[in-house]
Structure 1
């Protein structure tokens, strides 16, 4: 009887376990997981969107934030789904693998719809883009036959690269195919003479030709092909919802407004390139002035702190107490003997690991610049103090003053006039050293200018950064001259 009971129990257990393994829940246990991708996204409140942020004007980074046509379209779709778009920047080579592995919900990054990709994912078509030839002025490559003998730049693993490779197989003697990870690198190679022509999506070519009149669109390489939003095949509910959301965006006129903003009108109509002065007024100056404000904060803040700390270190350096002198000498040796860039990196990245002290970029920048400047300013103070005749101190002591009182009332006032020229030089150098904070992503003036030059491929904008630094140095020199004249008038 016990054997029969054991056998029946085993049979029932074997019948019950497959259901649990398949994910079935025991009776009376309510299911809490959302049914489908759309319900999961709405429950989380976030639509995860993958982009390759090297494809202006479709998607690129500005001040570290994603911007572009595709980015705004993704935000509009997310808004109509009742959620917020969260952007995940991916390299183009692995972007499809990330979608199929569930790292994000959709890809909205100007992806061409091809039969091979349609076998892996579903698409919601949202535009049709042609491929164009882009060259520099003086070249006129209009047809695929004219690619023979030229170096062609393309983005890695794109329709453009495969098309040029097919031309080679068909017998067109392209001298070299240069595949770059992003569109910006392709245009940089063309501008520097490392490539003769680029094959790229029409809006990207229009964008760079609009921003830099070095580039010219000379012909159409491929007929318009569809691009789409890539979605996992099992997420049919999400595909349907995005299809409806895009239809609403198109019907409301929002799609047209986005196109006019980012493409300057309908595709196929080349916009007039902006000259240097127009581009500077519309794009460069607002951001350079914003960066100039940060540079001034760093210069003045670290200058004041550096002078205060430098004076204390200088007094310790000439103190009669050997312990204070030793500390001052060690401080000056440390901060003058190591690069400012190393000090900045240590404070921002290493100090949290060693001491648990975490600073924001502005606080870290001010700390590093102040500590470094203080070491140099301390030596300026020391040299100025020691240049005062020793008889001044002896006379003050003979009048009954303590050493500290004599320093404060007699010696230091006489050093101020001698300090002005070297202090101005130090502050001028400090204003230029502020450019190093770009390594911790603090948007000072040179950082902003570098971002503009890299995004728009307009290296001439560095002239505005040079003007900004000149303004600071000239202002400091003018201030120093006025102080010297005022002190002369007072007979100091």
Structure 2
């Protein structure tokens, strides 16, 4: 069954008219999805761990998940007065489960892409981006003031062939000497850097934190905040809901806006504990 709703603008207008907050749960009849959730007594959320936003607790005690995505889902369930029900999904099903009405939202952290926007709507609360790392004892790399400096014929930039960053590297560093290598279990072509076959390589900003703790003698660009504020190859990250649910979506986004500081703080907490 597909859920539809009256226009979100009309509901917001009614909130204002009656002195209610836009973060209040929409009145019965305004959102078929919310009505169905409350009638069932459960908020079904698709879950698939993705650090630092959703981390599975495998200890056997305590809550099954933690992280900003879980905090936000719990807040939704609390405001709706229902139980939070995690529904395991896979990489293949994390988006299709929405159209199939198997979950009410997919809290598996998803990067917003043009392809996904065709089939789902997003509630965004973070971002994914890329750092450029190299050896700290590489004088050329250490002297680079920013990522733009790497786009130079004097630099060799390594990347995984067929990896998520391949096309971006070719566009971003078109003037540099590029070195494509076979992908491995490593999060980035670290062997190329350590063996001095390349000066720089891309890595996801979260994976950089792990790599920097495990391998000594590295540094990354941008330098600010250990590269966690990087805008390179940036994409918004959030949870997803099926299309055509304007009132439900507007309410979810309004609650997220109220929670932004708490969600950001928890993401920073998780990254700070990564090892």
Distance 1:144 1:49 in 2: 43
Change in 2 beyond 3 A, CA 1:61/1:255: closer
Match of 2:168 in 1: 163
Please state which structure has a larger fraction of its residues in helix: 1
Give the corresponding residue for 2:258. 248
What is the DSSP-based 3-state SS (H/G/I as helix, E as strand, rest coil) of the residue aligned with 2:244? Answer: coil
Asked if the contact 1:152–1:195 (Cα under 8 Å) also holds between the matched residues in 2, the reply is no
User: Are residues 1:77 and 2:76 paired?
Assistant: yes
CA distance in 1: counterparts of 2:217 and 2:80, whole angstroms: 39
Separation in structure 2 between the aligned mates of residue 41 and residue 147 of structure 1, nearest angstrom: 55
- Aligned residue in 1 for 2:67: 68
Evaluate the alpha carbon distance shift between residue 226 and residue 39 of structure 1 in structure 2; reply closer, same or farther with a 3 A threshold: same
Q: SS of 1:95's equivalent? A: coil
Residue equivalent to 2:53: 58
Q: CA deviation at 1:123?
A: 1.4
111-120 or 33-42: which moved more? 33-42
**C-alpha separation between the residues in 2 aligned to 1:215 and 1:70?**
33
Matches of 1:195 and 1:105, distance apart in 2: 44
**TM-score where L is the length of structure 2:** 0.60
* Cα deviations by residue, 1:179-236 (Å, 9 ceiling, x for unpaired): x8xxxx543x767x48974521x24433x15753548451257154322321111222
Contact 1:56–1:204 (8 Å) recurs in 2: no
Tell me which residue corresponds to 1:229: 239
Deviation at 1:41, TM superposition (A): 1.6
Are residues 120 and 147 of structure 1, via their aligned partners in 2, closer, same or farther at CA, if it must alter by over 3 Å?
farther
Q: Which runs of 5+ in 2 are unaligned?
A: 1-28, 195-200, 223-230
- Kept after mapping to 2: 8 A contact 1:152/1:199: no
CA spacing shift, 1:85–1:186, aligned 2, 3 Å: farther
Cα distance in 1 between the residues matched to 2:233 and 2:258 = 27
Q: How does 1:366-377 map to 2 (within 5 A)?
A: none
After superposition, the Cα gap between the structure-2 partners of 1:48 and 1:131, relative to the gap in structure 1 and judged at 3 Å, is farther
Match of 1:121 in 2: 120
Structure 1, unmatched stretches of 5+, are 1-32, 265-273, 275-454, 457-492
Using the TM superposition, give the Cα deviation of residue 166 of structure 1 relative to its aligned residue in structure 2, in angstroms: 5.7
TM-score by length of 1: 0.37
* 1:411-422 alignment runs, 5 A limit: none
Task: Tell me which of the two structures has the higher relative contact order, counting C-alpha pairs closer than 8 angstroms and 6 or more residues apart.
Answer: 2
Cα distance in 1, alignment partners of residues 95 and 168 from structure 2: 20
Q: Which has the larger radius of gyration?
A: 1
The aligned residue for residue 467 of structure 1 is none
Residues 1:168 and 1:263: Cα distance change in structure 2 (over 3 Å): closer
Distance 2:176 2:269 in 1: 41
2:203 corresponds in structure 1 to 199
RMSD: 4.1
User: What SS does the corresponding residue of 1:222 show, helix, strand or coil?
Assistant: coil
